[in-house]
Amino acid sequence: MKVDKKLAAFEMFSLTMILIALKLTDTTPSLFAQKAQNAFWYIPLLAFIVILPSLLILLYLLKHYQAKHLINLLEILLGNKLGKAIGFIFLLLNITFISLDSRNYVEQIRNLYFLNSSTLIIFVLFTIICIFGAIRGIEVIGYTAKIFFPFIFISFFLLAFLIYEELVWDRIFPIFGSGLPLIVEESLLKGSIYSDFILLTMGYSAFRKSHDFNTGGLVGLLFAIGVITFFFLIYAVVFDYNSIEKISFPFHEITQYVNLGDFFTNIETFFMVFWLLATFIRFILLLYLLTWLFGAIFNIKHFELLILPMGYLVMVVGLVPDNSVVNELIYRNQLLNLMTPIIMGFPLVLLLIHLFKRKKVEN
């Protein structure tokens, strides 16, 4: 019996959900709230609308050229050298981004559960686990995501259910938060929170059909945005605008706040288990894709061997910022703002080249 080891649409759905929707648990909400105040909850939605055309173009081109992955597509359209050069810029941006992101999660683990341990030790352990996971390959990551995805999201919704009585819906007013111009500006600049999805196109050839990738990915994205917006809305109505700006991890703040009746009072560890699981799957996937990107650019076929040095690199870059506040409010914010025009722009350039090429062929 021949088993098809390639991934299907549901794996793609789970991977996208974990990759994107997990942002609701980190500092992204407080980052948005700094500028937009209580209107921050619909920024993910607006940002998605801003970034959606670029994603669709990318998916269309991948399918049209039957490309193996993102770098392959760049090479087909831009030629070998230019394609690799653009890919290299993309790689540098992603290494920085993932490093800061992983630092963010390490700080969360440390601040909430391991106050006495040093960031370094937690980072080392975190990286080791991610490396071990990533070495198993994309198929295993996909299956793991598929198996655990329901549990993770059930735990999230249990949390939403438990916090329900604390919600005061009137807090969404004034509806435009700090003012409409600021909201629009923030939405335009923060489209890059979906940049992970572009990185996911590296795994294009690991799926059975391009149809699997497209449907799973788009449906996953839509659900992820729904979940993110829903949770951001919960944060907005639980904390109100003056407090949300000051809280670094609203998700964990909520888990500490809820009780399950009079008997089960401090239950945040229950939610921590699922959150930690999701975090590991997310970074294992990111590390794998990052190494794949590197391998594709430098024509290294057995790129799995590079996962260890790549994990080390991510860890070292992640350790650069002095503390989590600097990491969050300065580096990550600027990087997000910087990445958005690039992510929005380059699929458009690819599309123009594609149209130009097609015209040439017709002539």
Binding-site ranges for another protein (CB under 8 A) = 37-39, 111-117, 121, 124-125, 128, 165, 168, 170-171, 173-180, 239-243, 246, 253, 256-257, 259, 262, 265-266
Q: How far from 188 is each of 37, 217, 247, 343, CA to CA, in Å?
A: 16, 22, 24, 12
Smallest separation (angstroms) from another protein to the CB of 156: 20
* Token reading at 132: 């071990």
Task: Output the smallest distance, CB 324 to another protein, in A.
Answer: 12
Question: Cis link prior to 174 (omega < 30° from 0)?
Answer: yes
Comparison of 194 and 275: residue with beta carbon closer to another protein: 275
Beta bridge partners of 260: 264
Q: How far apart are CB 109 and another protein at their closest, in Å?
A: 11
Closer CB to another protein, 153 or 239, in the complex: 239
Q: How far is CA 30 from the centre of its chain?
A: 16
Q: Which is nearer to another protein, 20 or 162 (CB)?
A: 162
Shortest spacing between CB 10 and another protein, in angstroms: 33
Is there a contact between 325 and 107 (Cβ–Cβ < 8 Å)? Answer: no
Q: Is 81 exposed, middle or buried (0-12, 13-18, 19+ CB in 10 A)?
A: exposed
Nearer to another protein (CB atom), residue 201 or residue 248: 248
Q: How far is the CB of 253 from another protein (least distance, A)?
A: 7
Cβ distance to another protein smaller for residue 24 or 183: 183
DSSP H helical ranges for the chain: 9-16, 28-36, 43-64, 70-78, 80-113, 119-135, 138-162, 180-189, 195-200, 210-244, 250-257, 268-297, 307-318, 324-326, 333-362
Tell me which residue has tokens 């030629």: 79
What is the closest distance, in whole angstroms, from the C-beta atom of residue 332 to another protein in the complex? 21
Query: Which residues have a Cβ under 8 Å from the Cβ of 320 and sit 6 or more positions away?
Result: 99
The rounded distance, in Å, linking the Cα atoms of 294 and 275 is 28
In a 10 Å sphere around its CB, with 0-12 CB exposed, 13-18 middle and 19+ buried, how is residue 106 labelled?
buried
Residue 56: closest CA among 203, 177, 207, 217:
217
Tell me how far apart the terminal alpha carbons of the chain are, to the nearest angstrom: 49
Q: Which is nearer to another protein, 10 or 176 (CB)?
A: 176
**Least distance CB 263 / another protein (angstroms):** 10
3-state secondary structure of 8: coil
| Nearest-approach distance from CB 80 to another protein, in angstroms | 41
Nearest CB to another protein, comparing residues 174 and 341: 174
Instruction: Report in angstroms how near the CB of residue 41 gets to another protein at its nearest.
Output: 14
Our CB check for another protein shows the closer of 63 and 171 to be 171
Nearer to another protein, 66 or 256 (CB): 256
Q: For residue 190, which of 78, 328, 48 has the smallest C-alpha distance?
A: 48
Q: Which phi and psi angles does 165 have, rounded to 5°?
A: -75, -10
Nearest distance, CB of residue 326 and another protein, angstroms: 17
State which residue, 29 or 203, has the beta carbon closest to another protein. Answer: 29
